[in-house]
Amino acid sequence: MQALRWIVLLPLIGAAINLTLGSRIQRSVGRAGVAVLGSGMALASFAIAVTGFLKLRALEPESRLLLDNVLPWLHVGSLNVSLAFQLDPLSAVMVLVVTGIGSLIHIYSFGYMDEDPALWRFFGLLNLFLFAMLTLVLGDNILVMFVGWEGVGLCSWALIGFWYKDHANTAAANKAFLFNRIGDFAFLCGTMLLFWSLAGLGHATLVFRELDTVVGLLEGQALWGVPVATLATLLLFIGATGKSAQIPLYVWLPDAMAGPTPVSALIHAATMVTAGVYMVSRLHCLFSLAPFTLNVIAVVGTTTAIFAATIAVTQHDIKKVLAYSTVSQLGYMFVALGCGAYAAGVFHLVTHAFFKACLFLGAGSVIHASHHEQDMRRMGGLRTKMPLTFWTFLVSTMAIAGLPPLAGFFSKDEILLKAYQHDPLLWGVGLVTAGLTAFYMFRQVFLVFFGESRAGASLDPHASAHAADHHGHHVHEVHESSAAMTLPLVLLACGALTAGWLGIPSALGGNNLFTEWLSPVFASGGEHHGVEHEGLELEYALMVVSVLVALAGITLAYLVYLRKSLNADTFSRIARGVPYRLSFNKYYVDEFYYGTVLAGTLALSRALGWFDKVIIDGVVNGAAASVRAVSILGGGIDKVVVDGLVNFTARAFNGVGGALRLAQTGNINAYVYVLLIGVTAVLLAGAW
Amino acid sequence: MEHFLTLMTFLPLLGALVVLVLPRGNANLVRWTALVSTLPGLLLGVWLFQHFDRSVATMQLVERHAWIPAFNVQYLMGVDGLSVSMLLLTVLLSPLCILASWGIEKGVKGYFALFLLLETGMIGVFSALDFFLFFIFWELMLLPMYFLIGIWGGPRREYAAIKFFLYTLIGSVLMLIAMLALYFANTPHTFDMMVLMEKAPTYSHGFQAWAWIALFIGFAIKIPAFPFHTWLPDAHVEAPTAISVILAGVLLKMGTYGILRVCFPVFPLATQEYAFWALGVLGCWNIVYGALCAMAQKDMKSLVAYSSISHMGYVMLGMATLTPEGMNGAVLQMFNHGTVTAMLFLLVGVIYDRAHHRNIDGFGGLASVMPIYTGFVTIAFFAALGLPGFSAFISEVLVLLGTWQYSKPLAIIAASAVVLTAGYMLWMLQRVWLGPVNEKYAGLPDMNWREIVTLVPLTVIVIVLGVYPHAVLDLFGPTLVALGDTVSSAVPAAAQAVLR
Amino acid sequence: MDLGNAASLAYHVPELVLAGGSIVVLLLDVFTGMKARLGEVALLIVAFAIFTIGYGASAQQGYLFNRMVALDSFALFFKFLFGFTTLATIWMSTGSRELDGEHPGEYYSILLAGTLGMFYMASATNLLMAYLALEFVSLTSYILSGFLRHRERGAEASLKYLIYGGVASGAMLYGFSLLYALTGTLDYAELGHKLAAVAAVPGNGAILFIAVTLTLVGIGYKIAMVPFHQWSPDVYEGSPLPITAYLAVGSKAAGLALLIRFFYPALSSAVGDGTWTALHGVAWPTLMSVVAMVTMTVGNLTALRQQNVKRLLAYSSIAHAGYMLMGFVVLTDGGLRAILFYSVVYYLMNLGAFAVLLLVVNQTGREDIEAFRGLAWRGGAPVAIAMLIFLFSLAGLPPFAGFIGKAYLFAAVIEQKMWLLALVAALNSVVGLAYYVRIARAMFLDQPVAGDPEIAVDTSNGVLIGMLVAGTLVFGLWWTPVINFADRSVVFFGN
Amino acid sequence: MLGMSMTTVGLAHYLFVSLVLLCLGLFCVLTRRNAIGVLMGIELILNSAGINFVAASRFGSSGFDGQVFAVFIIMLAAAESAIGLAVVLGIYRRMRAIDTSRLTTLQG
């Protein structure tokens, strides 16, 4: 189907135009010009995506696959990949999410960025991101996917550092890119391993649908004593942890909040960070071959989930809270994947996309209204001032908290169920996380929208330095945001409300449309199908429990932050305690990474730089007898090397030259001496 | 086109002579003449690109004339896929460099005459098939290079120039010895490379061993491979922009080109034995070492110089593998590095022309001062750190793929460099272009049309080759496959296995 | 063909021309007032001599004066070389400021006489003749090198040269006498045959070796090979510049000619297919290859530190003697051909360098590198470029003739698989570049400082330099005629 | 060696004498600081060679080559010392001394 490429290309064209001529358009046509161009491209590709989806649905479930082979890309040796896009149920879901939510966020951005002079750049980059993300999702082989994979990294770099004049932002951007690169490095190795192992079996391919059929051959293959499948999947999963902010590579995501809020919503909540989830489920056939890896994934997922949740509990920055909640929700998705419940993982991905995007945009609306105030302790009482924002935000919060019948309830419960079936321990942790989620999300709601306005309130030492400069702002009247911003909020809220109904489990009389839609994809993946009958009671039980836990979390939050009835005694004690500080300082993971990895690398590089300048070069200069070498030696640090290598070589030439000149005394008698000595030497040589 | 290569090679020389006889006063006339005299080469290059037969590995456009019968030296020119790609690179970069040298004020005539002479030397090296002729062209480049750095270079230009000169000369004298030894290795004595290749199986093992090493050192100095690399940072830092471009864009490639052109086909046995250590391991070391050193640099140019060392490591590594993926990747990397590094040096030149220093910590926030410039910089940097969609990604992936099959540890080490590369590139980007505006340079003008013209073609190529690499890959595909087979077939497969 | 004295004269025209010429010049000086034009006269005489050489070249070859001298291609080649050397020397002398009004009569007539001596050195086939020729050249050189008597350096150079030369030739004589005592003959060819027998006798090996060594002293000092080189830097520096060039090119080549002529027939025997084997029991090829290596190394390393360009060129010429010896030790036609080729190239580039130096000395009155500072930027661009070509040719870089010459020498060595020699020579040429570049750098990279005079090129020197440049360039790219000439000239009598 | 015996004076004796002469000559050249002395030393060396030639041709069986050679040596020695003295004279005129150890302006 030719049209597929346009899903990808339209945003690219938009990006190209906006990034090259954007500034002119903005000057001549006006801000609306660039916005319309950008959003228009996004919407257009959304439209095409929808038609594609409809086409797909028209087909037989087994034959649901649309291909668009753009051009042969690389055909070298046994490697043969082409720039081709494929639309199958899985990628269709992703494409709809990306383009759909993407379009909404484009529209929203026009409202949110209304003061920014470089609007053209912003829309250009957003479009570019859509392009990359869609390439990632639609690519029909690993290499094309990798193009998108790194492409989104670039865009996220550029958008996090969008306000590049502040070094904090650019630093965050670089951090994000570098941590992603670490993942990409593993991803690359995994790909190569996979490719060559298959090539060894006579099936050199990187095309997904071919992989699905041939990876089975890897059974029993081993490298360095480790099953190839396990090794490859582990490497690929490290890649996923980089993109999807899982332990150990999650640290970049919270910092990434430095970017404009729409970016956080689009890239760091709804789409890019789910790339890892998509990749794993895209390669589920391979992963299913490696139970060990799946267990690792499940464990990492749960750990991340609860770990991030505990951090989120104590953050003051409205976006930081959401960021950590994203990390934790992604953890959920990986739990699902780890349990082999790919459909469940993707389902949660979708629902999460809706409510988390909505939450971020809501937060953005708040931040925008309160003049870029991000500290929740200076908010409050916005319920009345910005009702639309409040209600949408509330809906999404309930959704993420997993209250029925909202989206989060169905997706999360399906995961918890699968987790329980896999290993009750996972379920337990997941449950606690759910409780925490409910707690910190409602904590946020209460702090931001209820109570009195605390705008400009003075803060404790933990406060971000913004206090002073934002002091003046709170006199401004806070009011509801413009339509461009609220409309997407409403739509997303509806999504958060209804998206879950796609996957109402049979237990609740639904006919899990979503899983069914994906079943042709995951059919081959050894997905545990249809819950056994005696599982039904269990399923109900779990639902009830999780709902109760969620309610408990909410109540606690209510008591602490609204009624403040618990605040005084219990929490102040915890607040001074180690757990609080640990959580507040994000368990000092950043500091750890900085102290070890980064510092180490820099030190090494500095050492080598010195080595190169002083020693390698020094030796050379010595050999060249350049005076400079000698001076380096004079000031040189390493006496051993100095005396050992360079001085010697230096003398070898420079010295000899001088010595020979000294021999030329100018005294004729001496010359004759030398002559005589020469003769004798020759004669002796001859005699010997 | 009987004398195609002759034309291509000597038209610039003709231009040089014209430049020399022009009146002293009129600098612009000189500049335009120089520019014009590089264009025919470019056009011929385009023709070559269209009409080159991509399906065969044999030499094309061969010209053979007796030159010195008494010494059996021939004027023998010809191109195969390998040389064509390098020729294209040369004729492409030369006009751009002339444009980039527009600002030269001192000794204009001399400068451009030398530059054109240099171009003749480069084209000659890539199209000579008689070893003696090859050597003459090879040496011919030393003189102009020495003076271009030494007269028009930076403060420590004299030191850098002589260092470059002596370094390279050591390499060439070793090459000379090996060349003459080869000459006598056959009867009738000959310098004809194609004959030398045919007779490859007849050379004794010992002879192959030492001759390979002698030639390798000669070429490794040009690459430059650790530990023969220290001339490069100095030369780059001191050389004027355009010369840095040529140096990194073309001259470095001659090292690897020479290895592929001579060492591989003529000494397949020795290649099999030494490739792993001399090319594979050393190349890998180049990659990581160069990247780490780059991170420590304070001067933009020396950072880029070290990044060149790092990127040339991929070429060595790719060649070592002898796999189609690896070798194609290597040669493609030669081409891509040529274009990407050219961009980097041109861009550094832009800021140097305005601020007259290149100290990385001396800037900041240029993005808001020079947006267009920053746009190009971003593209160039991400291209350099091998971002997919840009040309360098293709070549690096191919090299890594080939290497993985050849030796997994090397592949992993080499792949790890993607992180380091991103590290130093982004760090530099952040320190120079991002962040708060440095008031000292708030008034800098953005790029002018000339600078943009020099960069646009390269940008286009970098992107196009990222999307459709076969535009270039097809040129040398067959050649390299044939070459790889020649070498691999030189020793039994069992022995190869041992080398892993 | 083996002619007696009277019959030989017909084949002896060039020598006669020179002899007559040197007298004529003297007479003109004494009896006419044309001091100023003596240079031109001498020039014509030499030109005529060269013409007669070419004229006689086609004649049948053989021995003259009862096997005292040989008339063969080898001799002819060197006679041409000496002829042209003298030509260039006279040319430079006429344009040299330091020689203005310095008794041109004596000067030119002695110069011509010295050339005559060189002719005999190249063609002598008899120890006596060799000795006479050598002394002839030496004596004239002593005078020429000290010709500027008012200059202290000149006198000193002359005396040192004289003493050193005296001792050296004394040693050589003693060597000759021993050879004579051993064989009872002075004729090279006979020596060759008899020595083969003598060497076979057990006891004689040692004496033979002593004799050879002592002989080597005399010849080695002429070509300034280590360890018999020490006179040359001082003499080169002290002499008038044209004479320095004359000694550096002419008498060095003459020494080489003598060396080859004597060692090949007398101390080795041809085995056909263009190779020789050394006299049994006397390992002079090994000895000489060591000497060659030492010579080039010492020459180059010492030159590294020189400030006076004249002196620097002196050391460089020592190094070049070492290079040329490479062709001597391999005992093949190829080696000899390489030497002949190289001496032509060496003639071009070395004389060229001296010619430019002369120009600079004339106009600045200085001989040190400083005098070249910024030469290209003060009017001397053409000269500077010429100098550059000569220097890089001396350094052996393509596309200049020097590279080709060096290539042939290397080829000869490598053909015999003497890797060590080849390697040492290769590294030496790198060292060589290091100091040639110092001058190039001064001319182009350094800026002139206030007070450095403008350099203008006068016609006579300009033409000379131009021709030498042309030669250096053309033979760098197309040297077929030279190599063929050299090839034909390897033929020599005496064996 | 070469038929030496106590009764007749053989070639060996001459060779021995010439060797002594050679050594004396060398010794003289090396030790004398006076230029004239050095020149005399050179004369000795030359003459030692002359003796060899004469002796060799007397005891050898081949004509008069040796003697002729000796004559030439004497002649050239004369010429050489003539030039030598001229140079020395020139030096003396300027420096009022003929001490070789002071003639070291040219060196290095």
Does the pLDDT of residue A407 top 90, yes or no? Answer: no
The nearest CA of chain A is from the CA of D23 a distance in Å of 11
Does the pLDDT of residue A532 top 70, yes or no? Answer: no
Q: Is residue A469 part of a domain?
A: no
Could you tell me the pLDDT band of residue A581, with boundaries at 50, 70 and 90?
Answer: confident
Full DSSP string of D24-86: HHHHHHHH--BHHHHHHHHHHHHHHHHHHHHHHHHHSSS-SHHHHHHHHHHHHHHHHHHHHHH
Task: Indicate whether A568 and A632 sit together in one domain.
Answer: no
Task: Indicate whether A223 and A202 sit together in one domain.
Answer: yes
Q: What is the DSSP letter of A340?
A: T
| Higher pLDDT among residues A646 and C59, named by residue | C59
pLDDT at residue C226, as a whole number: 86
Tokens encoding B197:
């290749």
CA distance B229 to A613: 11
CA distance A160 to A164: 9
CB B292 to CB A171 under 8 A?
no
Task: Indicate whether A135 and A145 sit together in one domain.
Answer: no
Q: What are B112-137's pLDDT values in tens digits?
A: 999 999 999 999 999 999 999 999 99
Buried b (16+ CB within 10 A) or exposed e, A98-120: bbbbbbbbbbbbbbbbeeeebbb
pLDDT at residue A618, as a whole number: 55
Task: Indicate whether A69 and A51 sit together in one domain.
Answer: yes
CA distance D93 to A672: 25
C-chain residues near A650 (CB < 8 A): none
Closest among C79, A521, C426, A27 to B218, alpha carbons compared? C426
D32 near A CB under 8 A: yes
| Higher pLDDT among residues A530 and A40, named by residue | A40
Could you tell me the pLDDT band of residue A654, with boundaries at 50, 70 and 90?
Answer: low
Pairing of strands A226-227, C276-278: unpaired
CA distance A389 to A318: 14
Candidates C153, C229, C230, C438, partner chain A, best to mutate (most A CBs within 10 A): C230
Between the CA of residue B242 and those of A47, B101, B348, B454, what are the distances in Å? 49, 6, 11, 11
| Higher pLDDT among residues A535 and A298, named by residue | A298
Does the pLDDT of residue C1 top 90, yes or no? Answer: no
Q: What are B188-243's pLDDT values in tens digits?
A: 899 999 999 988 888 888 899 999 999 999 999 999 888 788 888 889 999 999 99
Q: What is the DSSP letter of A642?
A: I
pLDDT at residue B381, as a whole number: 95
**Sign of the CA dihedral D42, D48, D49, D50?**
positive
Q: Token pair 């005076």 is at which residue? A: A627
Mean local confidence (pLDDT), B347-362: 91
Between the CA of residue B74 and those of B70, B77, B80, B187, D3, what are the distances in Å? 10, 9, 18, 16, 64
CA distance C151 to B220: 53
The nearest CA of chain B is from the CA of C202 a distance in Å of 39
Which of B70, B169, B180 lies at the smallest CB-CB distance from C430? B169
Between the CA of residue A230 and those of A211, A297, B464, what are the distances in Å? 16, 12, 37
The nearest CA of chain C is from the CA of D67 a distance in Å of 11
pLDDT at residue A472, as a whole number: 44
**Sign of the CA dihedral C199, C201, C205, C207?**
negative
A489 by Cβ neighbours in 10 Å (0-12 / 13-18 / 19+) ranks as buried
Closest among A545, A346, A564 to A434, alpha carbons compared? A545
pLDDT at residue A237, as a whole number: 94
| Higher pLDDT among residues D63 and B206, named by residue | B206
Of the listed ranges A403-407, A628-632, C386-390, the least confidently predicted one is: A628-632
Candidates C153, C167, C304, C433, partner chain A, best to mutate (most A CBs within 10 A): C304
CA distance C258 to C267: 13
- Give the phi and the psi of residue A308 in degrees, each rounded to 5: -65, -40
CB B416 to CB A185 under 8 A?
yes
pLDDT at residue C295, as a whole number: 95
Could you tell me the pLDDT band of residue B498, with boundaries at 50, 70 and 90?
Answer: very low
Q: What are C108-128's pLDDT values in tens digits?
A: 999 999 999 999 999 999 999
Q: Token pair 């300027």 is at which residue? A: D94
Q: What are C337-356's pLDDT values in tens digits?
A: 999 999 999 999 999 999 99
H helices, E strands: number in chain B: 24, 2
Chains that touch B (3 or more CB pairs under 8 A): A, C
pLDDT at residue A570, as a whole number: 62
Task: Indicate whether A217 and A352 sit together in one domain.
Answer: yes
Judge contact between A630 and A650, C-beta under 8 A: yes
Task: Indicate whether A99 and A213 sit together in one domain.
Answer: no
pLDDT at residue A277, as a whole number: 93
Task: Indicate whether A123 and A196 sit together in one domain.
Answer: no
B180 near C CB under 8 A: yes
Q: Is residue A260 part of a domain?
A: yes
| Higher pLDDT among residues B58 and D5, named by residue | B58
D-chain residues near C234 (CB < 8 A): 106-107
CA distance A119 to A113: 7
CB C304 to CB A625 under 8 A?
yes
The nearest CA of chain A is from the CA of C140 a distance in Å of 20
Domains of chain D: 35-99 (1.10.287.3510)
Task: Indicate whether A113 and A250 sit together in one domain.
Answer: no
Does the pLDDT of residue B31 top 90, yes or no? Answer: yes
Task: Indicate whether A393 and A514 sit together in one domain.
Answer: yes
Tokens encoding C266:
């007398």
H helices, E strands: number in chain A: 33, 4
C-chain residues near D26 (CB < 8 A): 167
Cis omega before residue A61 (within 30°)? no
Q: Give the start-end residues of each E strand in B363-445.
A: none
pLDDT at residue A310, as a whole number: 87
Could you tell me the pLDDT band of residue C331, with boundaries at 50, 70 and 90?
Answer: very high
Mean local confidence (pLDDT), A490-495: 90
pTM value surpassing 0.95:
no
pLDDT at residue B497, as a whole number: 45
Round the CA-based radius of gyration of chain B to a whole number and report it: 22
B478 by Cβ neighbours in 10 Å (0-12 / 13-18 / 19+) ranks as middle
- Give the phi and the psi of residue D10 in degrees, each rounded to 5: -100, 180
Candidates D104, D105, D106, partner chain A, best to mutate (most A CBs within 10 A): D104
Task: Indicate whether A602 and A555 sit together in one domain.
Answer: no
Q: What percent of chain C has pLDDT over 70?
A: 100
Residues 6+ apart with CB under 8 A from B230: A612, A616, A617, A620
Could you tell me the pLDDT band of residue C80, with boundaries at 50, 70 and 90?
Answer: very high
pLDDT at residue B35, as a whole number: 95
> What is the domain range of residue A173?
141-457+478-584
Q: What is the SS3 string spanning chain C? A: CECCHHHHHHHCHHHHHHHHHHHHHHHHHHHCCCHHHHHHHHHHHHHHHHHHHHHHHCCCCEEECCCCEEECHHHHHHHHHHHHHHHHHHHHHHCCCCCCCCCHHHHHHHHHHHHHHHHHHHHECEHHHHHHHHHHHHHHHHHHHCCCCCCHHHHHHHHHHHHHHHHHHHHHHHHHHHHHHHHCCCEHHHHHHHHHHHHHCCCHHHHHHHHHHHHHHHHHHHCCCCCCCCHHHHHHHHCCHHHHHHHHHHHHHHHHHHHHHHHHHHHEEECCCCEEEECCCCCHHHHHHHHHHHHHHHHHHHHCCCCEHHHHHHHHHHHHHHHHHHHHHCCEHHHHHHHHHHHHHHHHHHHHHHHHHHHHHHHHCCCEHHHHCCHHHCCCHHHHHHHHHHHHHHHCCCCCHHHHHHHHHHHHHHHCCCHHHHHHHHHHHHHHHHHHHHHHHHHHCCCCCCCCCCCCCCHHHHHHHHHHHHHHHHHHHCCHHHHHHHHHHCCCCCC
Judge contact between C468 and C348, C-beta under 8 A: yes
Task: Indicate whether A490 and A619 sit together in one domain.
Answer: no
Tokens encoding C126:
């008899």
Does the pLDDT of residue C30 top 60, yes or no? Answer: yes
CA distance A374 to A574: 24
Judge contact between C123 and C70, C-beta under 8 A: yes
D2 near A CB under 8 A: no
Task: Indicate whether A369 and A496 sit together in one domain.
Answer: yes
Which of C159, C174, C177 lies at the smallest CB-CB distance from D35? C159
**Listed residues A564, A584, A604: the one ending a domain:** A584
CB C410 to CB B151 under 8 A?
no
Q: How many domains does chain A have?
A: 3
**Listed residues A117, A140, A163: the one ending a domain:** A140
B66 near C CB under 8 A: no
pLDDT at residue C197, as a whole number: 86
- Give the phi and the psi of residue A70 in degrees, each rounded to 5: -75, -60
Q: Is residue A463 part of a domain?
A: no
A-chain residues near B159 (CB < 8 A): 626, 628
- DSSP H helical ranges for A244-317: 252-256, 261-265, 275-282, 284-288, 291-312
- DSSP H helical ranges for A113-141: 119-138
Of the listed ranges A372-381, C477-486, D20-29, D51-60, the least confidently predicted one is: A372-381
A-chain residues near C171 (CB < 8 A): 675, 679
pLDDT at residue A566, as a whole number: 61
CB C164 to CB A664 under 8 A?
no
A-chain residues near D33 (CB < 8 A): 669
**Listed residues A566, A584, A602: the one ending a domain:** A584
Q: Token pair 């006397």 is at which residue? A: C282
Could you tell me the pLDDT band of residue A196, with boundaries at 50, 70 and 90?
Answer: very high
